[in-house]
Amino acid sequence: MNKYKSLAVALAISCTSAFAQNQKIDKKVDSVLKLMTLAEKIGQLNQYTGDSDATGPITPNPNKLKDIKDGKLGSMLNIKGAKETREVQEYAMQSRLKIPLIFGLDVIHGYRVTFPIPLAEAASWDLAAMEESARIAARETAASGVHWTFAPMVDIARDPRWGRVMEGAGEDTYLGSKIAFARVKGFQGKGLGNLDAVMACAKHFAAYGAAIAGRDYNAVDMSEHTLWETYLPPFKAAVDAGAATFMNSFNTLNGIPATGNAHLQRDILKGKWKYNGFVVSDWGSIGEMIDHGFAKDKAQAAELAILAGSDMDMESRSYLPNLAKLVAEKKVPVALIDDAVRRILRKKFELGLFDDPYRFSNAARQEKELNSPENRKASLSMAEKSIVLLKNENQLLPLSKTLKKIAVIGPLGKSEKDMQGFWSISWKDDQLISLYQGLKNKLGDKTELLYAKGCEIADSSKAGFDEAVAVAKQADVVVMAVGEALDMSGEAKSRAHIRIPGVQEDLIKAVQATGKPVVVLVMAGRPLIFNWTADHVPAIMYTWWLGSEAGNAMANVLFGDYNPSGKLPITFPRDEGQIPIYYNYLSTGRPSKNDKDINYRSAYLDMPNSPRFAFGYGLSYTSFDYSGLTISKNQIHSNDKIVVNFTLKNTGKYDGEEVVQLYLQDKFASVVRPIKELKDFQKVMLKAGEQKNISFIIDKEKLSFYNQALQWVAEPGDFKLMIGTASDNIKLEKDFKLMD
């Protein structure tokens, strides 16, 4: 038997085995469902929080533990730890049917070991590394008795004023879809039931990232075409990756709250996509339909939510007191209750909780897994990959390790907690590495480290400027640490002005005026605006919030032990007035050809259309040359493909990685297409002087889009192929045709 036949047989056996396993679980679910009263069924649709780490208002409930014993609860969130989860699960085992609880937690970018924020990880463009960071987070989480993470957030976001931009993968649908798939695979590993896997939760369904004015929880209004073309594909990627759960979003979509939106949850998710996981509301979002003006009270909110397809009520206390009455009044069919319960019970069986409710609550495994050296090493590697070099005039970087004196200046220079970033889990014995400590670890006693805070992050006082300037004058090089505090980006952290806060940029000006070489490190959870710094400072790195090993990672990049390879996953504007700004825009009937072309063109009178830093932008300590583009065919039919080849050469002095980006433009179509769209990329490692042949495949799928009827089609016509190092820095181009 040849290897292909062997593979086919193996796949057939695997599919048969999976089908048999699914049937077995279905029978178990049905057997439990038959034993349940209506009250017990409704209990499974109810989720309470623990008494800490709340992300919204908590409804007081002195009878919480009694409700668990009475079978009125299907899940709890914000309880962590092998001991703690075991103790609460014991109450569930006192219920009549002994149905175990699922424990959930917001594990967004690491559990005990913190990884870079998701937007920073997206800047790595390294899918394997992102899957591995989710894998490690899952191992630590599962070892602590938690079964479920409310991640990944896969919302496309094009407005950096929105604080939750830090939680996603940026502005691009293609990149976001690839990252969504990788992170789901990372969290769920080889499958639910394994002791190192947790249930993933794709959120927020849907279009939350398009909140009007970048204001959190605000309304969303868009065409069906934009919804399908831009905002839904990452969710479909999560479905394809096997995401166990979905979370609906706080926003209204075209006037309908997502929590009560049957079009989203029943027609698309559970209908067209045939999704068999369950949907949890966001915190209190069922009850919040009253504030939206969509429901008059919690009873109507419960009715609208369950009819629309929301299976579990997170903390709004709407389902438990109202669903039984709604069933009795025939406003809610019991079949819908059964469907929701069946989806939840299935996950409990898949997790193996019916066999052993305490199987994840293992103190010995928790002790071994949490904060291990291997996990911290992976966090360091991910942090290095996430740093984006924005500017490096006269090759100021990397710094020499023979420097005698280095000044660390800025309010984030010695900060540890801010390195953890928003949506992280706090620990009493956090081991977070500041920039200052990272430099000290790197240089030891060979280089004298000077320090001055200069100012606070958001204050208006310049009282510390004189000290900072005096310290800078003593140094050979100044490394400045500026940006946001960890609570300035994240949920409910929208900002109308996204400049570097306070007087930090004035501090940069004062230090730059000393004439000393200055390197600025910007630490933040979103794109910030820093035009003066971008124009005048010779070297700038964007370091986001990098997690547990932040300082060590920054030191490694500053001194060239890691050559930066990050590329921006989101556009950096020049001014808030340009927002929303993104690379794959539609051309108007009067396009501006350049930044000075404003005469009756689509342009601003007072600033260029172009961004400060474009999507896909990022520098390296080395240089790369693109040459020799060839394509296998200039014309193809829909069942054919084009093979693209070119040569990439490292022409600099350092080994380094380049993120090669492939963009396509459909020049003429039945629906106006973007000026360019990312359709593929590769991260390529080359030694100094090395060259490689790089290949891409262009097929019908890459040429397809949603037409006016929302059909996924590839239309015959003219296309442009573009390959480059950033969306605004195309190195190679060719035209080709798609024939009938």
Catalytic residues: 282
The number of residues in the chain equals 740
Closest to 352 in 3D by CA, of 540, 100, 172: 100
Kindly report the CA angle at 502 between 497 and 508, in degrees rounded to 5?
A: 110
Q: Which amino acid is at 651?
A: T
3-class SS of residue 68: helix
Distance CA 584, CA 663 (A): 10
3-class SS of residue 475: coil
Q: Which residues pair with 350 in a beta bridge?
A: none
Residue 655: CA count within 13 A, CB half-sphere: 5
- Tokens linked to 106: 């917001």
Closest to 487 in 3D by CA, of 562, 424, 539, 555: 424
* 609: Cβ contacts below 8 Å, ≥ 6 apart: 578, 592, 595, 602, 603
* 344: Cβ contacts below 8 Å, ≥ 6 apart: 44, 45, 74, 75, 102, 278, 311, 312
Distance CA 232, CA 142 (A): 29
Distance CA 411, CA 434 (A): 11
Radius of gyration of the chain (CA): 27
Please state the separation of Cα 682 from the chain's center in Å. 19
Distance CA 194, CA 188 (A): 9
CB count within 10 Å of CB 449 equals 17
Closest to 104 in 3D by CA, of 85, 83, 76: 76
- Tokens linked to 596: 């000075």
Beta strand spans in 496-535 (E) = 518-523
Distance CA 174, CA 230 (A): 9
